[in-house]
């Protein structure tokens, strides 16, 4: 089958909710992907911040294969060792006390919202509580997660959504304070905004919101779905601020390719929050994903992945700063660890598409940001290769623009 036929087959049957790149991916190895024609791509997207160990990691693959042959699924009516081991690893790595496994990030957000509402319900003896979320945030596509997503374009067609959500500006403590009422039960935000354009929370904001929450018995929910599991150079990004949430969410790199998410909470919250009958899932945290999560944390720790991310992240950061100095179209650089964004005045979708031609996968965030969320295992040589390819793309686009202007 030709590539065109493969694409047609997909487009004939799949719901058209993505404008996909005309790229049919076939296999991966380390930081590289290969399409069905055998063309190689350096991957700085990692399946949207998922494939922390890159592709085809033998140890990880073997652990999953072994679990497939043993036991895939049991439901949550019974205990299984891989699930328990995964929960232990996650609580240990995060310092949180209790975990509930989900199948996706959006579901983790759903659970976090329910946990916060139930906590306030138990305390006050009634419902009707409010949640404060941030403008330009992204928490997922289900109705609850969409309700706290600060992007009107995503929300509008599906309104009315969950009531009782108020919006504040990220990194603006006063704007959060202005939304607090005696009904506020939770404040939710991403420690580093991802889809919104790679905006790390400021230390003052983290500390200020934490204090505000403590003063008013409001729960702080940190969404670590994109920035967590090593990407920031800390296992969870909030650990780099020394500001601990009451509830946190994880997904994406948590399973490094198997669909798993989680929401976690402190014992203080868990004691008076979700109880038997309040929440559940058929697949969530089954033995298969349990084996994956267990292996991910084992490898993260053994490979001292956070130290590696700090080292390579600093190198990437320096190289991206140099690009901003060199190209007029690049106006700003933000990010930490291996989660970076370049603000670009050229059409970023075009930059992504042209990068593919050069054998580089980069994605976008917001309307004007080129996003870099590579596998965490990359080395300096991968950074150099990416910079070289991206520079070639930007040079070419500059030349095209120059020629166009000359012809005018």
Ligand X SMILES: *Cc1c(COP(=O)(O)O)cnc(C)c1O
Question: Binding residues for ligand X, per CB under 6 A?
Answer: 104-106, 109, 138-140, 190, 194-195, 223, 225-226, 251-252
Say how far apart CA 52 and CA 30 lie, in whole Å: 10
Q: What 8-state DSSP symbol labels residue 222?
A: E
Measured from the CB atom, the residue of 138 and 297 that comes closer to ligand X is 138
Say how far apart CA 377 and CA 397 lie, in whole Å: 30
Shortest Cβ 353–ligand X spacing (Å)? 22
Tokens of 317: 């950061």
Shortest Cβ 104–ligand X spacing (Å)? 4
Q: Is the dihedral of CA 40, 42, 45, 50 positive or negative?
A: positive
Say how far apart CA 311 and CA 226 lie, in whole Å: 20
The residue to which tokens 């949207």 are assigned: 48
Measured from the CB atom, the residue of 363 and 397 that comes closer to ligand X is 363
One DSSP character per residue, 57-106 reads: -HHHHHHHHHHHHH-S---TTS--HHHHHHHHHHHHHH--SEEEEESSHH
Shortest Cβ 35–ligand X spacing (Å)? 24
212 touches 244 (CB < 8 A) = no
Q: β-strands 247-250, 192-193: how paired?
A: unpaired
Q: Is the dihedral of CA 92, 94, 100, 101 positive or negative?
A: negative
Measured from the CB atom, the residue of 327 and 372 that comes closer to ligand X is 372
Measured from the CB atom, the residue of 103 and 323 that comes closer to ligand X is 103
Q: What 8-state DSSP symbol labels residue 320?
A: H
Measured from the CB atom, the residue of 147 and 385 that comes closer to ligand X is 147
Shortest Cβ 249–ligand X spacing (Å)? 7
Shortest Cβ 107–ligand X spacing (Å)? 7
Measured from the CB atom, the residue of 323 and 335 that comes closer to ligand X is 335
Measured from the CB atom, the residue of 32 and 255 that comes closer to ligand X is 255
Measured from the CB atom, the residue of 112 and 265 that comes closer to ligand X is 112
Shortest Cβ 10–ligand X spacing (Å)? 19
Tokens of 229: 């599991």
Three-state DSSP class for 145? helix
Q: In what order do the strands lie in the sheet with 25-29?
A: 25-29, 32-35, 40-43, 360-361
Measured from the CB atom, the residue of 194 and 240 that comes closer to ligand X is 194
Shortest Cβ 44–ligand X spacing (Å)? 16
Shortest Cβ 102–ligand X spacing (Å)? 9
Shortest Cβ 280–ligand X spacing (Å)? 18
CA 70 from chain centre, in angstroms, equals 30
In the complex, residue closest to ligand X by CB: 105
Three-state DSSP class for 198? coil
Tokens of 185: 């039960």
């Amino acid at each position: 089958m030709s590539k065109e036929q493969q694409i047609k087959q997909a487009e004939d049957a799949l719901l058209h909710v993505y404008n996909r790149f005309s790229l049919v991916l076939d296999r991966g190895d380390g930081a590289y992907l290969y399409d069905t024609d055998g063309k190689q791509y350096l991957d700085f997207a990692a399946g949207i911040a998922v494939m922390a160990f890159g592709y085809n990691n033998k140890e990880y693959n073997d652990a999953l294969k072994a679990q497939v042959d043993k036991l895939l699924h049991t439901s949550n009516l019974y205990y299984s060792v891989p699930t328990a081991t995964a929960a232990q690893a996650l609580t240990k790595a995060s310092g949180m006390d209790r975990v509930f496994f989900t199948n996706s990030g959006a579901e983790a957000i759903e659970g976090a919202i329910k946990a916060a509402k139930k906590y306030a319900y138990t305390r006050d003896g009634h419902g009707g509580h409010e949640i404060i979320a941030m403008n330009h945030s992204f928490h997922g596509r289900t109705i609850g997660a969409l309700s706290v997503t600060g992007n009107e374009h995503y929300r509008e067609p599906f309104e009315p959504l969950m009531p009782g959500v108020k919006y504040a500006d990220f990194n603006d403590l006063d704007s959060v304070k202005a939304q607090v009422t005696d009904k506020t039960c939770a404040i939710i935000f991403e420690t580093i905004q991802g889809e919104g354009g790679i905006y790390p929370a400021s230390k003052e904001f983290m500390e200020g919101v934490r204090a505000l929450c403590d003063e008013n018995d409001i729960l702080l929910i940190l969404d670590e779905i994109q920035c967590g599991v090593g990407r920031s150079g800390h296992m969870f990004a909030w650990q780099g601020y020394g500001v601990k949430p009451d509830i946190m969410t994880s997904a994406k790199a948590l399973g490094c390719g198997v669909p798993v998410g989680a929401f976690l909470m402190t014992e203080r919250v868990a004691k008076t929050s979700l109880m038997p009958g309040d929440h559940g899932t058929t697949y969530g945290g089954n033995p298969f994903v349990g084996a994956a999560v267990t292996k991910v944390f084992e490898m993260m720790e053994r490979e001292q992945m956070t130290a590696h991310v700090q080292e390579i992240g600093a190198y990437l950061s320096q190289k991206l700063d140099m690009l901003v100095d060199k190209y007029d179209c690049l106006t700003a650089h933000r990010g930490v660890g291996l989660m970076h964004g370049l603000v670009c005045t050229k059409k970023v979708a075009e930059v992504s598409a042209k990068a593919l031609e050069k054998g580089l996968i980069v994605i976008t965030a917001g309307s004007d940001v080129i996003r870099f969320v590579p596998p965490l295992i990359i080395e300096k040589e991968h950074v150099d290769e990416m910079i070289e390819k991206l520079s070639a793309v930007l040079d070419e686009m500059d030349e095209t623009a120059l020629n166009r202007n000359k012809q005018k």
